[in-house]
């Protein structure tokens, strides 16, 4: 842990290869990983051998990556069985304005550079800097104006034209960037167009499906779309049926809704799978499929659920992935499930918003709860406090209530009604502090969060990015305070340190003393073009030392064992 890392990790240069080997069987290097031992040898070897050693390490990284991403393609069983592949994107009736299509590639790239947008893909539609240019119906523009959304955000400037054009898309943008509208509005227009072509009959639908990792995020996305559905209907457009499919609610109500026909569904994986297997929902007509917070959906035990859901589709569909990070799972999915995809990034994938001031506090475990009160004085409310486990959530909630703080709490062990009530009270400003497990960091957008407190470091650096992304949104500034101590893992703290350096934040002394094989990492980065871990995206380690990669490798080995036993 941290106290071990803070010890002197210098290596004494010994003479001869036998002494090199000797120092790995006894002494301070005995318990180090094979990669660390290899790196130590690299330091002691002459400069002439360094290139070949780096080449060997790069080859090892490539092999590791290839093995970890060599999964079964994410296609329907029918498509796999028939060997069906799709080479062209779905055709839509939407086209950019003529003046935009006549722009040169240089002009389009100048606009993208202005907003820090990068794109990968062929025949990328031009960026559009106004909602009017995107040809949205007047009621949609009016609703956006009422919410003070007048000018598109960078991810909307490029993401909306791409998705409206029917292209499969991987969107990467920091939380609070307005990404929900990037896929919600095109789904709304696609459903409206289908309804105008032919009226929906009982039992039909959905035409569009958005999958979310948590009930809270699904409910929030549902409400965003519902505002526009209601605005269209009140302006004389046909009624579009929108349905929320999540656990914690009665299936009878959802079944009744489905019988009347549904244009769009926002769902969590578990309840959706139940209704698909029972035949209450079908995806035969669904041509618009979104994975929101895709890194979470493909990385937190949901991958098999996603594969299961994919088998219920018929034919080709437009698939959209949105995420704040870009781990290997997303890249692998993109290669296996998307057709001519366009990747659009605003900033670096997995980077922390520069609008968040990150403060790191070294706090002994036994003093963390009492130190919370001091941290709450930094800013006015609202404040979010994140914890790894449910017991800490409950303990902090009880402590703050005793101290007279207006607080509510939420975690996976609480009932759906209790969770929804806590979110509503906090969102409406009736409570000042929300204490939560990571379930709430999955994309929820609470307005004007002043301060995020991490009571502990999450197990993965991606979750840290998601957590502190609750503040500093939509161009506003915010503060995050994170408690660390000697119980934190070394690799996680190295990732944290690298994030702070990238965001030009102050590095506290206890983190600055953390050492890694920076020289070798820099050489590997220079030669490979990959900064940090190519699998999880952590900046403070390489794939050979990645705990998440090791976890997946072990799962793959167990899976091979199960497959062997089936025969």
pLDDT for 353-408, tens place per residue? 788 999 999 999 999 999 999 999 999 999 999 999 999 999 999 999 999 999 99
For 145, how many CA atoms within 13 A lie in the half-sphere containing its CB? 11
Closest CA to 157 of 194, 220, 122, 110: 110
List the CATH number of the domain containing 397. Answer: 3.40.50.300
As a whole number of angstroms, the distance between CA 264 and CA 248 comes to 20
Residue 305 has a pLDDT of 87
**283 shares a domain with 340:** yes
% of the chain exceeding 70 in pLDDT? 80
Is 21 contained in some domain? no
**506 shares a domain with 550:** no
Residue 23 has a pLDDT of 45
Is 18 contained in some domain? no
Closest CA to 361 of 267, 456, 270: 456
Is 16 contained in some domain? no
Residue 51 has a pLDDT of 54
pLDDT range class, residue 13, cuts 50, 70, 90: very low
330-359 burial, b at 16+ Cβ within 10 Å, e below that, comes to bbbbbeebbbebbbbbbbbbbbbbeebbbb
As a whole number of angstroms, the distance between CA 201 and CA 215 comes to 28
> Where is average pLDDT lowest: 314-328, 397-411, 418-432, 497-511?
314-328
Average pLDDT along the chain: 83
Domain boundary among 500, 515, 530: 515
pLDDT range class, residue 286, cuts 50, 70, 90: very high
Residue range 12-34: average pLDDT? 49
Range of the domain at 111: 77-346
**466 shares a domain with 432:** yes
Reported residue count of the chain is 567
pTM for the whole thing? Answer: 0.74
As a whole number of angstroms, the distance between CA 353 and CA 471 comes to 9
**Is 540 within 8 Å of 59 (Cβ atoms)?**
no
**338 shares a domain with 467:** no
Residue range 269-290: average pLDDT? 93
For the chain, what is the domain count?
Answer: 3
pLDDT for 195-232, tens place per residue? 999 999 888 889 999 999 888 889 999 999 999 999 99
Q: What is the 8-class DSSP label of residue 520?
A: H
Is 43 contained in some domain? yes
Q: Which has the higher per-residue pLDDT, 437 or 126? A: 126
Is 126 contained in some domain? yes
Residue 402 has a pLDDT of 95
Q: Answer yes or no: is pLDDT of 535 > 80.
A: no
Strands 342-346 and 117-120: antiparallel
**β strands within 132-258, DSSP E:** 169-172, 208-211, 242-245
As a whole number of angstroms, the distance between CA 340 and CA 121 comes to 7
Biggest distance spanned by C-alpha atoms of the chain: 85
| Cα dihedral sign, 480-486-487-488 | positive
Is 2 contained in some domain? no
């Amino acid at each position: 842990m941290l106290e071990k890392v803070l010890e002197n990790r210098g290596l004494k240069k010994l003479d001869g290869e036998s002494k090199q080997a000797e120092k790995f069987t006894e002494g301070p290097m005995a318990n180090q990983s094979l990669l660390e031992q290899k790196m130590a040898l690299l330091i002691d070897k002459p400069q002439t051998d360094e290139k070949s050693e780096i080449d060997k390490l790069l080859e090892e990284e490539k092999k590791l990556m290839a093995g970890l991403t060599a999964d079964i393609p994410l296609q329907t069983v029918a498509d796999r069985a028939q060997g069906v592949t799709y080479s062209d994107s779905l055709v839509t009736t939407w086209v950019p304005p003529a003046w935009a299509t006549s722009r040169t590639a240089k002009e389009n790239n100048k606009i993208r550079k202005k907003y820090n947008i990068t794109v990968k893909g062929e025949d990328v539609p031009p960026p559009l800097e106004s909602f009017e240019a995107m040809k949205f119906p007047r009621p949609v523009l009016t609703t956006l104006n009422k919410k003070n959304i007048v000018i598109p955000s960078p991810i909307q400037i490029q993401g909306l034209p791409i998705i409206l054009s029917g292209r499969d898309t991987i969107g990467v943008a920091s939380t609070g960037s307005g990404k929900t509208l990037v896929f919600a509005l095109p789904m709304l227009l696609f459903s409206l167009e289908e309804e105008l072509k032919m009226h929906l009959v009982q039992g039909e639908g959905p035409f569009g499906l958005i999958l979310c990792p948590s009930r809270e995020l699904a409910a929030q996305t549902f409400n965003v779309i519902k505002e526009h559905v209601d605005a269209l209907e009140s302006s004389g457009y046909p009624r579009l049926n929108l349905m929320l499919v999540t656990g914690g609610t009665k299936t009878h109500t959802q079944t009744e809704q489905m019988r009347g026909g549904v244009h769009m569904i926002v769902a969590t994986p578990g309840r959706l799978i139940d209704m698909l297997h029972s035949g209450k929902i079908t995806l035969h007509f669904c041509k618009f499929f979104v994975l929101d917070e895709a890194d979470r959906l493909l990385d937190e035990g949901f991958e098999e659920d996603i594969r299961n859901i994919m088998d219920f589709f018929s034919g080709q569909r437009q698939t959209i992935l949105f995420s704040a990070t870009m781990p290997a799972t997303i890249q692998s999915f993109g290669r296996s499930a998307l057709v001519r995809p366009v990747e659009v990034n605003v900033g670096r994938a997995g980077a922390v918003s520069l609008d968040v001031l990150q403060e790191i506090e070294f706090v002994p475990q036994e003093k963390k709860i009492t130190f919370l009160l001091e941290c709450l004085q930094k800013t006015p409310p609202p404040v979010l406090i994140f914890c790894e486990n449910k017991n800490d959530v409950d303990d902090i909630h009880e402590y703050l209530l005793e101290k007279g703080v207006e607080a509510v709490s939420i975690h996976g062990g609480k009932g759906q009604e209790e969770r929804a009530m806590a979110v509503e009270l906090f969102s409406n400003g009736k409570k000042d502090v929300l204490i939560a497990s990571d379930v709430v960091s999955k994309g929820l957008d609470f307005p004007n969060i002043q301060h995020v407190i991490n009571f502990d470091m999450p197990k993965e650096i991606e979750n840290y990015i998601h957590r502190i992304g609750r503040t500093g949104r939509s161009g506003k500034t915010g503060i995050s305070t994170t408690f660390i101590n000697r119980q934190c893992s070394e690799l996680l703290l190295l990732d944290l340190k690298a994030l702070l350096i990238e965001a030009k934040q102050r590095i506290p002394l206890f983190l600055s003393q953390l050492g890694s094989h920076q020289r070798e990492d820099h050489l590997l980065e220079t030669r490979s073009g990959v900064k940090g871990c190519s699998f999880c995206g952590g900046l403070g380690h390489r794939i050979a030392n990645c705990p998440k990669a090791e976890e997946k490798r072990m799962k793959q080995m167990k899976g091979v064992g199960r497959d062997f036993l089936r025969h």
